[in-house]
Every structure is written in structure tokens, then in C-alpha cells.
Amino acid sequence: NPVPDQLARVVVIGAGQAGLSVAYHLRRLGLVPGSDLVVLDRGPGSGGAWQHRWEALRLGAAHRVHDLPGMHAMGLRFDDADRSRPARDVVGEYYRRFEQHYELRVRRPVAVTSVTRVPGADRLCTTVRTPDGRTSRISSEVIVNASGTWGTPFVPWYPGRDVFAGRQLDTTEYRSAAEFSGQDVVVVGGGTSAIGFLLELDGVARSTRWFTRRPVVWSDTASLDLESAVAAVDEQDRAARTGRVLPSIVSGTGIPVTRRIRAGIDRGTLVAAPMFARLDESGVVTADGEHVHADAVVWATGFRADLRHLAPLRLRTAAGGVVVADGRSEDEPRLFLAGYGPQASTIGANRAGRRIAQQVTDVLAGTA
């Protein structure tokens, strides 16, 4: 039972939309950042996953980031942001100003390597590592995990993935279309990342081909259809409460057809074929047996919750998920998961912040 290097009341793991929202509300409820409340992030800068997203990504109709609570009081709104600048720069800058304004004292880059129970005490221990290799431990009454999904991209297995001689990359490895200049590129996946890549590659790559496991569902409005979003969020909530692996939100909402997307559909860039049967050395082979030459295959096939550091708590169910109801782990009542499941959007993360902060203070007060 090693002696901790620091005692805190609450540790928040991750300073993306979810972690910042929780930290903001906890501070309002009286916790002091830096001592009572320790916010940790392994990223080099502010912005959560947004700081790592590809250069060409802009905030706009498909990528709408909700304002953090307390941002309006600072005179900041994402809707007023300069849309000609990369989303990663805009979000990074806004979050940085937010952290400074509310003095949240985020510690970075600090990676949480494990979370364990402290034997004989109602506490959890967070072990962290800094880039110089030093480790230390923080003991706290509660942990709010807000580690997002960017660290665990999901790439499905298809026969021949180990045979293909070209380049394979996932969404987190995509930098810009220029890397694929003059190449034949296959893009896999039915979400907004795949669509963004195809539009960006159009005219830069020699050819693009698009494959999706399920037919793409277009929503005929230019913004997210609220009714189907509610259904998708409900489905996420059911999955979280029963410990299943979470479905993608976008798979339930449909993709809003912006003007840019409409033009891509009309010129044939955004026409998806059913998923190919296999890869071979020089490309992919469709279900009909057509060989499609590819220099690169981009797997824009989604993400899973990045919970690797929670493994010592043994919370995974046989169904592959963690049982979470209203942001709280069913099996470890000192652990909250913000931005998980139904909260996995910037608006969900915002709402979660308030609800989780309230529940956390109830636990601290011994009333929950």
C-alpha cells in the first residue's frame, strides 16, 4: 500500500470538453483547483482530442462544438469563431482561455497509467507518469474519468489486412490530403471523418473509392436531426447501462447534408459501395469480385472508449463495456465516467458536467 505523493478530494482524468465541464462545475461548488481538485491531461496542449485532429477540419455545420458552460460569461462563443482557421487551433485556444479564466490548473502532459483501489480505505489511487519517466500517485475520494476515445481508434479485421503492401492508417494518423497526392486511396467508414477525408482528397489523390459496412444514412437537413439524435443517445444510454460496447452516435443520427456534401454526392465523390470482401497485396476485392487498386487504405471506422488505465478496477463486463448509469459506475461508486456513452458529444459532455459534479459533491458530503 504505497504512500501517495498527494491527497486530493477529486481527480479528473482528461481536460477535453467533458473534463473541463466537470471541473468548472466542481469549482463552482467550492472545490479548489490544484489541491482539492486535480485535473490531469496527457496531451501537450489544451483542446482535448481536438488538438490532434487533422489540419483541414473546420468548425461548421457537421462539426458543431457546443460552448462550455461559463464561456458566454467570458464573451466567447464557438459560433463567432473564425471558420477559416483549423478547428484544432480554434478549440485549443478557446479551451486554453477557459482554463486560464477559471484557473483550473490543468496538469499536463501527465499520463494516467493506472487507477487502483486503496485497500482498507474508501479511496482510489491514480498513478501518473510524466514524459521524463517519473511516476507519482494521487489518492482521492472520487475519480471522474473523462478520457475520451481518441487514444483508441477502432479498426475492424478484414481478411488480407496483413497482406496489403500499401499504407494503412486510421483517423488519428491522417494529417492532410497532400500526403496522398497522385495516389489511389480507399476510404472505409460511414461517418463524418470518412466524408471529410473523401472531400479533401478529391482532386488531390488520383482516385478515391468509398466503402461502408452499412448504407450511409443522409439526413435531409443541413444540421443534426434532433429526433434521431435523441433516439441515438437513448440507444447509447441503454448500452452503457447494460455494459455493452457503445454504438456510434452518428450511426443513429444520419449525416446532415451540407452544401459541400451535396456537391460531393452530385459529382460522385460521396457514393459509397458496400464493404469490400478482402484486401490483397495491391488493393481491395469487392463483394462482386472487382479488384480496386489502392496505394493507401484509410480506416475511418470509429473509436472505442479509452479506459485502459481503469483495467485494474476490473469493470469490464463480458459484453465488453462498463456498466454506467447517469455517469456513475455501477461497480465502483467512487468512479464517474464523463463523456461516456450517451454523453459522447460536446453537448452531452456539457450536460454531464453539471450532473456529475452534483453527484460527486454528494459523495464527498457522504449523502450518496
Task: Kindly list the residues in this chain that would bind ligand FAD in the complex (CB under 6 A).
Answer: 13-19, 40-43, 48-49, 63-65, 111-112, 146-148, 150-151, 171, 193, 303, 306, 309, 339, 344-346, 349
Q: How far is the CB of 22 from ligand FAD (least distance, A)?
A: 9
Half-sphere exposure of 141 (CA within 13 A, CB side): 16
Q: How far is CA 361 from CA 206, 248, 335, 343, 366, in A?
A: 57, 31, 13, 20, 8
112 vs 313 by CB, closer to ligand FAD: 112
40 vs 363 by CB, closer to ligand FAD: 40
Do strands 324-325 and 296-299 pair parallel, antiparallel, or not at all (unpaired)?
unpaired
DSSP conformation letters of 54-75: -TT---SSSS-PPPPTTSGGGT
Q: Is 63 within 8 Å of 32 (Cβ atoms)?
A: no
16 vs 70 by CB, closer to ligand FAD: 16
229 vs 279 by CB, closer to ligand FAD: 229
Q: Report the length, in residues, of the chain.
A: 368
Q: How far is the CB of 317 from ligand FAD (least distance, A)?
A: 21
188 vs 279 by CB, closer to ligand FAD: 188
Q: How far is the CB of 318 from ligand FAD (least distance, A)?
A: 24
Q: Is 12 within 8 Å of 339 (Cβ atoms)?
A: no
**Which amino acid, one-letter code, is at 203?**
G
Q: How far is the CB of 292 from ligand FAD (least distance, A)?
A: 25
The label of the residue with cell 475519480 reads: 143
SS3 51: helix
Q: How far is the CB of 305 from ligand FAD (least distance, A)?
A: 9
SS3 79: helix
Over its C-alpha atoms, the chain yields an Rg (Å, rounded) of 21
Q: Is 180 within 8 Å of 200 (Cβ atoms)?
A: no
DSSP conformation letters of 106-143: -B-S-EEEEEEE-TTSS-EEEEEE-TTS-EEEEEEEEE
Q: How far is the CB of 313 from ligand FAD (least distance, A)?
A: 13
Q: How far is the CB of 193 from ligand FAD (least distance, A)?
A: 4
164 vs 210 by CB, closer to ligand FAD: 210
